[in-house]
Structure 1
Amino acid sequence: MEKRVQRIKELLEEKKAEDVQIFDLRDKGYFVDFVVIATSLGDKHTLALLDFLKEKLKPEGEQFLKIQSSEDWVVIDLGDIIVHIMTEAYRKRYNIEEFLEEIKEQE
């Protein structure tokens, strides 16, 4: 599973996503094991990153179970991994990292 998450991070960074973070939430009672968060350079970049991930990961056997998207935010459900790609403004607005850090620190 770590290889899958690292692959996602590498692909996002390859296409200039910024501040890509991985949250390992295994054994924390969260509904997925990993969450990946990345900042896009703008609205078109957000959707381009989604397309790039689909293009690269589907042939590797990754299943995109559900995708919710707007120009500012994309959420990709890969089953045991959730990927959030959002513009800088949305990332600051929702501050998902703080919420995930709280979950991560729970025992």
Structure 2
Amino acid sequence: MQERIERIKKFLEEKKAEDVQIFDLKDKGYFVDTVIIATSLGDKHTAALLDYLKEKLKPLGEEFLKIDESDEWIVIDLGDILIHIMTEAYRKKYNIEEFLEAIKEGREIKE
């Protein structure tokens, strides 16, 4: 599992994704074991990162179960790993790191 996570992080960083963060949520009651968040440089970069991940990960046996796309934010469901790629503005606006950190630490989630 750790090898898969590091590989995804490496691929994102190869194509200039910024501030890649990994949240280990195994045994925390979340619906995936790991969440990876990365910041893209803009709308086209977000789509390009998705294409690059598909190109690199599918031959390695990764299965893309679901992909939700908008111009500013893409969510990739690999089953036990969830990848969020978003523009800096969206990342600041939604601050999902705080939500994930609360889950990781077992804290109550504030609405």
- Partner-residue secondary structure (3-state), 2:62: coil
Moved beyond 6 Å, runs of 4+: none
TM-score by length of 2: 0.95
Q: 1:82 is matched with which residue?
A: 82
Gaps of 5+ in 2: none
CA distance in 2, matches of 1:24, 1:5: 10
Q: 1:11 is matched with which residue?
A: 11
For residues 58-73 of structure 1, what are the structure 2 equivalents within 5 Å? 58-73=58-73
**Root-mean-square deviation over aligned CA pairs:** 0.8
CA distance in 1, matches of 2:65, 2:2: 19
TM-score by length of 1: 0.98
The amino acid across from 1:44 in the alignment is K
Aligned length: 107
The amino acid across from 2:32 in the alignment is V
The amino acid across from 1:106 in the alignment is G
The amino acid across from 1:48 in the alignment is A
